[in-house]
Amino acid sequence: MRRRRALLPGAQPGQRGALPALPGPGRRDSRGPLRRPAGDLPLLQHGSGGRPGVDAVHADIATSVRWGGRAAVKQIYVQIPAYRDTELGPTLLDLIARAEDPDALRVGVLWQRADGDQLPGAVRANPNIEIIEVPYQDSAGCNWARAQLQRRWQGEPYTLFLDSHHRFIPGWDRHVIAMYKGLRRRGVAKPLITAYLPPYASAAC
């Protein structure tokens, strides 16, 4: 018969005992310190790797994604943290105007703003845009802002993370979903589409 050995320090084989307590934040022991409580894990904004990228699915951009009229369920959760960015308003207007099905979008904005910062009335009135306003002095940084938005995900099948200064092509929502599905067909289990996008000319310039 194989002899059992004790797992707990100082215990005999088969003896029951309590597990030793883990050190709390700021305490030290011989196994090493826990200096602070657990918190949010920052996520990289841009990924890398050797899997097929956007160029590999160029042909799939033409694949049509049928939306079927007005969306009853939101398909894309767009997350935009913004820190006193004057391009936030134009970005949101262009995002909605150039989507093939804007009703399928749910847009979350963490707007770190000053008292005099403004957004267009059309942005304020859009029911698909949720704006969380925070005085910029109270901001805890970019990863904090991202985490606030990520906590508000409601199970949408797709999520798009953007900076607050972008312009879009017509039907961008259909195109990006077609790219995603093209990667899935090529065997990528969890596609992540990421890019440094080219510059654009602002109407204010």
Contacts 24+ apart (CB under 8 A), 144-151: 144/40, 145/81, 145/83, 145/110, 145/112, 146/42, 146/43, 146/79, 146/81, 146/110, 147/40, 148/81, 148/110, 149/79, 149/80, 149/81, 149/108, 149/110, 150/43, 150/79
Q: Does residue 33 sit within a domain?
A: no
Average pLDDT score, the chain:
77
* pLDDT surpasses 50 at 178: yes
Say if 34 falls within a structural domain.
Answer: no
Q: How far is the C-alpha of 156 from the C-alpha of 86, rounded, in Å?
A: 28
What was the pLDDT predicted at 27? 46
Is 41 among the domain residues?
A: no
Say what the pLDDT of residue 12 is.
60
Mean pLDDT value of segment 48-75? 44
For residue 47, the model assigns a pLDDT of 38
Whole-number pLDDT of residue 18: 54
Asked if residue 161 belongs to a domain, the reply is yes
pLDDT in tens, 97-135: 999 999 999 999 999 999 999 999 999 999 999 999 999
What is the pLDDT averaged over residues 43-62? 38
Tokens of 92: 């949101």
What domain range includes position 117?
Answer: 72-185
What total number of domains does the chain contain? 1
pLDDT score for 65: 38
Asked if the structure places residue 88 within a domain, the reply is: yes
Structure tokens at 36: 């602070």
For residue 156, tell me if it sits in a domain: yes
d(CA 104, CA 107): 10
Mean pLDDT of all residues in 13-21: 55
| DSSP reduced 3-state for 158 | strand
Residue 181 belongs to domain with CATH number: 3.90.550.10
Burial of residue 142 (CB within 10 Å: 0-12, 13-18, 19+) is: middle
**How much is the average pLDDT of 154-169?**
95
pLDDT at 88 over 90: yes
| Residue 16 within any structural domain of the chain | no
